[in-house]
Structure 1
Amino acid sequence: MSVAAVTLRSMSVPVSVSLAADTADEPVRRSRPALSPSRAADFKQCPLKYRLRAVDRIPEPPSRAAVRGTVVHAVLEDLFGLPAADRHPQRAAELVPGAWDRVRADRDDIDQLVAAGGPEALFEEVRRLVESYYELEDPTRFEPHALEERVEVDLAGEIPLRGFVDRIDVAPNGLLRVVDYKTGRAPGPLHEARALFQLKFYALMILRTRDIVPAQLRLIYLADKVLLTYAPDREELERFERILIALWQAILEAGRTGDFPPNRNAMCRFCDFQSLCPEFGGTPPPYPGWPQQDSAPVELGLPDVRPPEDV
C-alpha cells in the first residue's frame, strides 16, 4: 500500500480558522450528561450497558488490548511533537518506554496486565503496531494541525456532544482532514457502519462548531494496515444530526423512567457487566436516577480512558 498523500488533493472544502482558537481557554463543563461516539454506540447496542457505564459509572477492569492501544496513541502523539526530520521509525520505537510510563502513571491498576511477560513484551507489541503506521503514512512529510483534540458542541442548542479526535490535518490549500487511529483490526463489511458512525459523529461536531464540512475523515487500522476513508457532505451530516437528536431523546426518556433494557447480542461476550445483566442471570444495582444539572461533577459522555473499541 502506498504512503498516503499529504496534500489532500481530493478535498474540496477550505478551512480558514483554527479549530481550537476560541475554546482552548474555556473551562471544561463536566456537570451534565453528554454524548460521545462510544456512549452513543453503547445505547444503540444495549441500553443497560449504557446505563451501567454512563449513569452508574461502574468501573471496568482494564484490558491488555485497551492499555496497548492507549500506549500506541501516546507514542504517535509524542512522535508528532518531534521535528519532522526526527520522526523516523527508530525514533518512534525509542518513544515507547516513555509513553508507557505516562500511561502507567495515570492508571494504578494496569501493572498486572504486563506481569507475566513484563513490560518489554508489551513494548514489542506496541512497536509492531507503530511500525505498521509507517506503511500507511509518512509522518516526516506534514505537520498536524492538532493532536488529541477535545471537541465539544451543543447540538440543537441542548444536546452536548463530546469527543477526542486523534489528529486534525489542514493541507496547504486549507482543506481539513480528521484522523483516528485504531489498534484493532479493520471491520468487515457487516461492521463498517459502526466505524462510519464514529466518523460522522466527528464530522458533525466540526460542522456545527465551524460550519465546515471536513473534506476527508480517515480511520487508520494499524493491526492489518488498512485505511478507511470517508468524504462526508452537508446533507448527509444533517440527516445524521437528526438521528443523534432522536437517539438523545430516547436516552433522556430512559433516564426519566429508569428503563434501560438489556439487549442480548453478539457483543455480549466482550461485556464486563454480565454479572449485572438479567440476560445472564444477574441483577442490576438500584437505578441511581438521572443526574441533575446541579449535581456533583460527572462526565457521562467521555470516559477517563479510551474504551477498547476506541483504540
Structure 2
Amino acid sequence: MSASACKPPADLTPEAGPERVSARRRPALSPSRAIDFKQCPLKYRLRAIDRIPEAPSRGAVRGTVVHAVLEDLYGLPAPDRVPERAAALIAPAWARVLAGRPEVGSLIDTDGLEQFLGEVRTLLDSYYRLEDPTRFEPESREAQVEVELGDGVVLRGFVDRIDVAPTGELRVVDYKSGRAPGLAQETKALFQLKFYALMVLRVRGILPAQLRLIYLSDEQILTYAPDEEELLRFERTLSALWEAILEAGRTGEFQPNTSWLCGYCDYKPLCPAFGGTPPPYPGWPAGVQESPEETLADAVAE
C-alpha cells in the first residue's frame, strides 16, 4: 500500500489514547471542524477560533452518556458485557459527565432524571439488537488518533472502536445516538467515514476492510468499504480544504453560508446574513499554522 506519504504518526493503539497524545497535542483538522468549514466558514470561525460556547442540548448529552457506557462496557471481560451490566453502568456514566460539565445538569431537572436515564437505557437496548458485545474483543475504544500528512496537514479524531479479525482485517466503528441520515445528510456521514479510513491507512499502512456507523435511535447500520484510490483523492480534497482554512485565517474572511441548517445554529444572532454582527476577528492562533482541533465532546455528541 502507498502509505508512505506522511510523517511518523502516533500508533493507533489503546496506549495512544488521550492521556498519551495530550503531552504533544497540536491543533489539527478533525472531521467535525472540516465539516463545519464546508458547511459555513463563519460557523467554523466562531466555534473553533473565537471559541464562543454553544448551549448543550439534551440529545448531545444523552449521546455522550451512551458513549461513556459503551466505553466502560468494553472494558469488562467479554462474558460480563450483558444488558444488565450495561444498565448498571448508566448512572455512574451520567455522574462522570455531570462532574465534567456541571452546566448540563440544567437540561435535566431532578424530576426528569429518571426519564433521561431511561432514554439512555432504550438506546442501549437498541445497541444489543444490533451487536452482541460478548462475541468479540475490540482492539481499542475511544482512541484519539493523530497523523501528519506529507504536505503538513495534521489530522486528528476520536475513534469509538477498532476491531481486528484473527485474519488481520480491520474494522472501524462509530456509534451515533441519533437516526440514520437521509439523503441530504449521507454525504456528511460518508465524509466522516472517509476521514477515519484515511487516518487508519496513513497510521498503519492498512486499508480498513470496513467502516461502520451504528445509529441507535432507529437501529440502522451504515457500512462503507473504502477503496485506496478513492482515499488518496479524498486526501487531496482535505489538503485543498486546509489551504482554504489557512487563507481564511490569514485574511479573516470567514463568510457565512446560509442553508436550512441555520435554523439550528446557536450563532445565528451573530451572523450578518440574519442581521447580526460577529465579534472582532481575534486573529489566527499565534504561533501555529493549524486550526483548533476536535474535542471528545465534539466527537460523541452527534
Equivalent position of 1:206 in the other structure: 200
In the TM superposition, residue 231 of structure 1 has moved relative to its aligned partner by 0.3
- Aligned pair partner of 2:96 in 102, 105, 114: 102
- Aligned pair partner of 2:293 in 295, 301, 307: 301
Mark the CA change 1:96 to 1:214 in structure 2 (over 3 Å): closer, same or farther.
same
1:60 aligns with 2:54: yes
DSSP 3-state at the match of 1:193: helix
Q: With the length of structure 2 as denominator, give the TM-score of the two structures.
A: 0.91
In the TM superposition, residue 105 of structure 1 has moved relative to its aligned partner by 0.9
Deviations 1:1-21 (A, max 9, x none): xxxxxxxxxxxxxxxxx7327
1: CA distance, partners of 2:202 / 2:242:
17
Q: What amino acid sits opposite 2:93 in the alignment?
A: A
Equivalent position of 2:72 in the other structure: 78
In the TM superposition, residue 304 of structure 1 has moved relative to its aligned partner by 5.2
Contact in 1 for aligned 2:143/2:159 (Cα 8 Å): yes
Q: What amino acid sits opposite 1:301 in the alignment?
A: E
1:256 aligns with 2:245: no
Q: What amino acid sits opposite 2:13 in the alignment?
A: A
In the TM superposition, residue 190 of structure 1 has moved relative to its aligned partner by 2.8
Residues 1-311 of structure 1 aligned to structure 2 (within 5 Å): 19-20=12-13, 23=16, 25=20, 27-31=22-26, 33-115=27-109, 117-293=111-287, 300-303=292-295, 305-306=297-298, 310-311=301-302
Q: What amino acid sits opposite 1:87 in the alignment?
A: R
1: CA distance, partners of 2:265 / 2:255:
15
4+ residue segments displaced more than 3 Å: 21-31
In the TM superposition, residue 120 of structure 1 has moved relative to its aligned partner by 1.2
1: CA distance, partners of 2:87 / 2:196:
30
Q: What amino acid sits opposite 1:140 in the alignment?
A: T
Mark the CA change 1:276 to 1:194 in structure 2 (over 3 Å): closer, same or farther.
same
Contact in 1 for aligned 2:42/2:254 (Cα 8 Å): yes
Contact in 2 for aligned 1:66/1:306 (Cα 8 Å): no
Deviations 1:70-96 (A, max 9, x none): 000001111111111111112111110
Deviations 1:262-296 (A, max 9, x none): 0110111110001110111110000000112269x
1: CA distance, partners of 2:185 / 2:58:
23
Q: What amino acid sits opposite 2:12 in the alignment?
A: L
1: CA distance, partners of 2:64 / 2:189:
18
DSSP 3-state at the match of 2:159: strand
Contact in 1 for aligned 2:14/2:141 (Cα 8 Å): no
Equivalent position of 1:13 in the other structure: none
In the TM superposition, residue 28 of structure 1 has moved relative to its aligned partner by 3.9
Mark the CA change 1:222 to 1:162 in structure 2 (over 3 Å): closer, same or farther.
same
Name the structure where helix makes up a greater proportion of residues: 2
Equivalent position of 2:6 in the other structure: none
In the TM superposition, residue 118 of structure 1 has moved relative to its aligned partner by 2.8
DSSP 3-state at the match of 1:152: strand
How large is the RMSD of aligned CA atoms in angstroms?
Answer: 1.9
Aligned residue-pair number: 290
Structure 1, unpaired ranges of 5+: 1-17
Contact in 2 for aligned 1:39/1:301 (Cα 8 Å): yes
1: CA distance, partners of 2:12 / 2:184:
33
2: CA distance, partners of 1:294 / 1:301:
12
In the TM superposition, residue 209 of structure 1 has moved relative to its aligned partner by 1.1
Deviations 1:7-60 (A, max 9, x none): xxxxxxxxxxx73278464554345x4110011000000000000011101111
Contact in 1 for aligned 2:194/2:226 (Cα 8 Å): yes
1: CA distance, partners of 2:185 / 2:40:
16
In the TM superposition, residue 121 of structure 1 has moved relative to its aligned partner by 1.3
1: CA distance, partners of 2:239 / 2:137:
35
DSSP 3-state at the match of 1:141: coil
Mark the CA change 1:269 to 1:69 in structure 2 (over 3 Å): closer, same or farther.
same
Contact in 1 for aligned 2:157/2:299 (Cα 8 Å): no
Contact in 2 for aligned 1:216/1:231 (Cα 8 Å): yes
Structure 2, unpaired ranges of 5+: 1-10
Q: What amino acid sits opposite 1:110 in the alignment?
A: V
